[in-house]
Amino acid sequence: MKILIRGAGDLATGIAAELWERGHQILMTDVVIPLTVRREVAFSRAVYEEHAVVEGMEAVLAENFEEAETIMATRKIAVMVDEKAEVRKEYLPDVLVDGIMAKKNLGTRISDAPLVIGIGPGFTAAGDCHFVIETQRGEHLGEVIREGSAIPNTGIPGNIGGYTVERLLKASADGIMHPVARIGDVVKKGQIVARCGDEPVYARLHGIVRGMLQEGVPVKKGLKIGDVDARIEEKLCYTISDKARKIGNGVAEAIDLVYKTK
């Protein structure tokens, strides 16, 4: 089955992984400068590195749809820079998944594909898409919503290792991003982990750097640029999160609801 996923960040990558493992053909689209913090587990990395491997699955950057077709024919995932997913008009996907995670709909319509699935807040099932998948951590994570919307964004990050807002790294000023610590580094509370322009960014807890924006990205003060995990398990830096996997399972369930009943 032909799947088009808008967005190629870490959650969208979890969705792609679950669907690719089920044998589907995957094409993903993203913006010119992706701002994915958990880069090591995101196919958006292919935009600036030309290819990305996550848990043994390879994604390759395609300059056009013809290249994307060639890539997908080899059982790889194709990634295109296509902010509005215009490629859908050539690809004609069976399923379009909006995994941009913008907390609002950036242009996806229920008419974009035979089955359109919105991920998280900002979508209305039976309105601008057929189904919505819940993204809020808890008992409803990954649930298929047939009418209505996902739980609104609380603005508070999920609790990981006993920490919420403390684990986030945010830009200290407008400017160009310069990582000091790398993904996988263990850092101490108060340690400089990045610079935004000339302003340092300090770790707010002792832990392992699980995510960090790439060098040279222009950032605005307050933008999330990284995260630190107090659990200090290196494998977690390179493993798709349980949250992303559960959301991916929800997408697979939604697809089965439509296509397995036909």
pLDDT tens for each residue of 235-259: 999 999 999 999 999 999 999 999 9
- CA gap 251, 133 in Å, rounded: 7
Average pLDDT over residues 144-155: 92
pLDDT above 90: residue 158:
no
Q: 261 falls in which pLDDT band (50, 70, 90)?
A: low
Most distant CA atoms of the chain, gap in Å = 58
- CA gap 138, 147 in Å, rounded: 20
**What confidence tens digit (pLDDT) does each residue in 38-58 have?**
999 999 999 999 999 999 999
Q: What's the confidence (pLDDT) of residue 8?
A: 98
The domain defined by 165-230 carries CATH number 2.40.50.100? yes
Could you tell me which of 181, 162, 186 has the C-alpha nearest to residue 37?
A: 181
Tokens, residue 169: 């790294």
Question: Side chain identity at 98, as an amino acid letter?
Answer: D
Q: 11 falls in which pLDDT band (50, 70, 90)?
A: very high
Domain ranges of the chain: 2-153+242-259, 165-230
- CA gap 115, 206 in Å, rounded: 44
Output b/e per residue, 120-154; b: 16+ Cβ within 10 A: bbbbbbeebbbbbbbbbeeeebbbbbeeebbbeee
Mean pLDDT value across the chain: 96
* CATH classification code of 2-153+242-259: 3.40.50
Q: What's the confidence (pLDDT) of residue 262?
A: 52
Q: What's the confidence (pLDDT) of residue 84?
A: 97
Q: What's the confidence (pLDDT) of residue 69?
A: 98
pLDDT above 70: residue 156:
yes
**Helices 10-21 and 242-259 meet at what angle, rounded to 10?**
50
CA trace torsion 31, 35, 41, 47 (10° rounding):
40
CA trace torsion 111, 113, 115, 118 (10° rounding):
-70
Using a 10 angstrom Cβ sphere, with 0-12 exposed, 13-18 middle and 19 or more buried, the burial of residue 171 is: buried
CB of 247 closer than 8 Å to CB of 14: yes
Alpha carbon separation from 118 to 18, 25, 35, 125 (Å, rounded): 16, 19, 20, 8
Average pLDDT over residues 4-15: 98
Q: What's the confidence (pLDDT) of residue 177?
A: 97
- Tell me the whole-structure pTM to 2 decimals: 0.95
- CA gap 43, 52 in Å, rounded: 6
